[in-house]
């Protein structure tokens, strides 16, 4: 018989979980303080980044990070006033900047990301939301072959997972796509990827489909979760208490507070992400492109060209900084000098980052509370598969994937 499930968080992970739970015959309520498809699910780069399994904590991070912080053209920013509060997380994060951990983490991330196109198509089977999806190449744009070869370590890991790029150099770059400027001298083109033409609209459409399937959406602020091994959990919201059989926490960077109420201190910080949308754009790239020099992705979308990326460490409370937008505005015309647009729109949001760069997927002890958050840069990419995995656990239809690496209690109490 179906269980009564509450999913907290109406981003791509929460909505995917809710849809799969309905397909598995469960009674599902989706709760969020905002409308579906806001937050990081609204502002991401729109990539179905199958090859995005290498964490930022590669072995050379110890040497790169100080230089990046001093370079005005670096995509790494820190709000220095927040640094004391962030030091415990940062210490744990940097401990993984070694070869053994990088390869282990990459293998675990690949299980979540590498089949993203298949997972999104399975999620949208029979739905109008599929109109937001496109299959495409994923292009990595470099100034030179030497810059590409400087990332040999990362490409070695990707190749081991079947993502072997085709290299295009010299005048052939502009023949491949005239949107690239002369500063781009080498492309690494990876097949079997995809992108979403309107991430926020896509998730909102999925939420509408979920309601047509009989699901319920409630707009409320979740303030507490009451859970034990001896009784079903209860969710306390601004609209009152809600009883259920199981709960799924999928509220991204805000999940840390709810986990603390369950007795677990999760080492989770916000990687503040930025984007600029060049509205009604022409002269940009035809396929989603990662511009290596600025570490930002440029994705053609319905509204225009969205340029998204940047890592700023600075917590959940402060507003947007000016420097990341200034960096994007310098880097974009260098990569795409023929770009024309009518106006621009800016955004800043929060990506949930754990110290080991892996999401939390599974049940918290035997509490009836499940986790589905912590995807860092790959929430849109890994959301549908994560939702399917968690829904399977709840509906007694588990996958054969060992979820131990993503266990929510792996950090201890």
**3-state secondary structure labels for all residues of 130-187:** HHHEEEEEEEEEECCHHHHHCCHHHHHHHHHCCCCCEEEECCHHHHHCCCCCCCCCEE
pLDDT digits (tens, 9 = 90+) for 287-336: 999 999 888 999 999 999 999 988 899 999 999 999 999 999 999 999 99
| CB-CB contact of 279 with 127 (8 Å) | no
Give 62-80 pLDDT, tens digit per residue.
888 887 777 777 888 999 9
Check pLDDT > 70 for residue 1.
Answer: no
Structure tokens at 409: 């209690």
The CA distance from 274 to 396, in Å, is 39
Average confidence (pLDDT) over 238-257: 96
pTM across the whole model: 0.96
Q: What are phi and psi of 266, to 5 degrees?
A: -90, 125
Residue 246 has pLDDT above 80, yes or no: yes
For residue 413, what pLDDT is reported? 67
């Amino acid at each position: 018989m179906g269980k009564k499930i509450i999913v907290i968080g109406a981003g791509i992970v929460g909505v995917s979980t809710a849809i799969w739970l309905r397909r598995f015959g469960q009674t599902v309520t989706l709760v969020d303080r905002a409308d579906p498809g806001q937050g990081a699910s609204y502002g991401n780069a729109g990539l179905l980044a199958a090859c995005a399994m290498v964490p930022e904590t590669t072995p050379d991070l110890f040497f790169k990070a100080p230089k990046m912080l001093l370079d005005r053209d670096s995509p790494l920013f820190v709000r220095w006033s927040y640094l004391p509060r962030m030091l415990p997380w940062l210490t744990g994060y940097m401990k993984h900047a070694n070869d053994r951990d990088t390869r282990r983490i990459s293998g675990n991330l690949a299980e979540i990301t590498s089949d993203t196109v298949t997972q999104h198509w399975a999620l949208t089977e029979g739905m109008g939301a599929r109109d937001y999806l496109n299959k495409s190449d994923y292009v990595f744009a470099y100034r030179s072959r030497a810059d590409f070869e400087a990332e040999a370590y990362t490409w070695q890991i990707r190749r081991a997972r079947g993502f072997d790029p085709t290299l295009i150099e010299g005048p052939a770059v502009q023949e491949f796509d005239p949107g690239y400027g002369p500063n781009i001298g080498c492309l690494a083109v990876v097949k079997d990827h995809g992108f979403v033409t309107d991430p926020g609209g896509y998730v909102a459409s999925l939420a509408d489909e979920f309601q047509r399937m009989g699901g319920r959406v409630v707009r409320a602020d979740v303030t507490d979760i009451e859970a034990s091994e001896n009784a079903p959990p209860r969710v306390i919201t601004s609209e009152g208490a809600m009883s259920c059989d199981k709960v799924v926490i999928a509220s991204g960077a805000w999940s840390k507070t709810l986990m603390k109420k369950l007795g677990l201190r999760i080492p989770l910080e916000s990687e503040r992400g930025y984007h600029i949308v060049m509205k009604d754009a022409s002269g940009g790239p035809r396929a989603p492109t990662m511009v290596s020099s600025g570490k930002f992705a440029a994705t053609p979308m319905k509204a225009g060209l969205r340029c998204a990326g940047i890592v700023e460490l600075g917590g959940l409370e402060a507003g947007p900084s000016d420097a990341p937008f200034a960096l994007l505005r310098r880097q974009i015309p260098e990569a795409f000098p023929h770009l024309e647009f009518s106006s621009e729109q800016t955004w800043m949001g929060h990506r949930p980052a754990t110290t080991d760069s892996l999401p939390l997927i599974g049940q918290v002890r035997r509490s009836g509370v499940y986790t589905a958050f912590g995807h860092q840069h790959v929430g849109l990419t890994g959301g549908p598969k994560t939702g399917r995995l968690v829904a399977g656990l709840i509906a007694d239809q588990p996958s054969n994937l060992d979820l131990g690496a993503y266990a929510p209690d792996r950090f201890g109490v």
